[in-house]
Amino acid sequence: MSVPSAAAAAAAVAALLLPLLMAGADPSDESCLLNLRNSLEDPANSLRKWTKSTLASPCNGFTSYLVGVTCNNGRIYKLSLPARSLGGSISPFLSNCTNLQTLDLSSNSLTGPIPAELSSLLNLAILNFSSNHLSGQIPPQLSFCSYLNVIDLHSNDLSGPIPDQFGLLVRLSVFDVSYNRLEGPIPVLLSNRTGLPRFNASSFVGNKELYGYPLPPMRGRGLSVLAIVGIGLGSGMISLVLSFTAVCIWLRITEQNSATAGGVMNDDDGKISHAMPDY
């Protein structure tokens, strides 16, 4: 009698545990990691355990044995793969990891753009893509992630402006876009909050075309000496061409007038032409 009841108890325990274990197999987390694995290059083989079968249930109950992945309640809430020599690009399907709070892919060799699709990661608090080779513009849609505390994009090849909308991220406590190729004015809401500097110059340095407080104003950096010389020469050429054209038109008109004016004008022409050889 005791053996069957022990078996029944074991079956009951298994029946209780099974849903917890199955909770790890979230289809959107699986799709998120599979797509990320495919978009990354992994020359150091850091992600050797990221296989199709292990990625099928990235969260084993409450934990994950996948490098870089941390789970909570069967969902991925942290993805942290700094300094693992990763190349390739950032998959837009990272947006499928909808419970993600921390995304750290810093200090790798990632290229390509920051996908605007990341804006659907509404729980995202920490975003660190620093020290890669990411290019293109910073997607303004990232401002939809209203829990963002940390945006660290320093030392990449990002271009274009700093989105004005980032000034509306009230929880932002760390913002670093230094050492990129960003341009344009620094959004006032990022630099000043009630007169006090919100983020100081160290957040913005190393972007040649970025200007405005807390960096120096545009005057003297927007227009280089070469540009001023260029504009001067250009406008000089244009006025030269314009006045030459004006003279040509004027000559044509007077020519036509003299051709239709008759004898008196011809007499004047004759006097002038006779006068010329005297010089």
Q: Compute how many residues bind ligand NAG; rule: CB under 6 A.
A: 21
Q: What whole-number distance in Å separates Cα of residue 109 and Cα of residue 41?
A: 9
- Smallest separation, CB 192 to ligand NAG (Å): 4
Q: Does 82 bind ligand NAG (CB under 6 A)?
A: yes
The answer to the question of residue 200 lying near ligand NAG (CB under 6 A) is yes
DSSP character string of 132-159: SEEEEEPPGGGGG-TT--EEE--SSEEE
Task: Check binding of 258 to ligand NAG (CB under 6 A).
Answer: no
User: How far apart, in Å, are the Cα atoms of 241 and each of 228, 232, 236, 251?
Assistant: 20, 14, 9, 15
Q: Alpha-carbon distance 191 to 215, whole Å?
A: 9
- Phi, psi of 228, rounded to the nearest 5 degrees: -65, -45
Interactions with ligand NAG, residue window 119-158 (CB under 6 A): 128, 130-131, 150, 152
Q: Pick from 157, 228, 200, 219: which is nearest to 211 by CA?
A: 219
Nearer to ligand NAG, 27 or 277 (CB): 27
Q: Segment near ligand NAG (CB under 6 A), from 3-11, 25-33, 56-64, 220-228?
A: 25-33
Q: Which stretch binds ligand NAG (CB under 6 A): 8-16, 192-200, 231-239, 252-260?
A: 192-200
Dmax over CA atoms of the chain, in Å, equals 143
- Cα gap 199→34, rounded to integer Å: 37
Among 36-44, 91-99, 241-249, 250-258, the segment contacting ligand NAG (CB under 6 A): 91-99
Footprint on this chain of ligand NAG (rule: CB under 6 A): 27-28, 31, 82, 93, 95-96, 106-107, 128, 130-131, 150, 152, 174, 188, 192, 195, 200, 202, 213
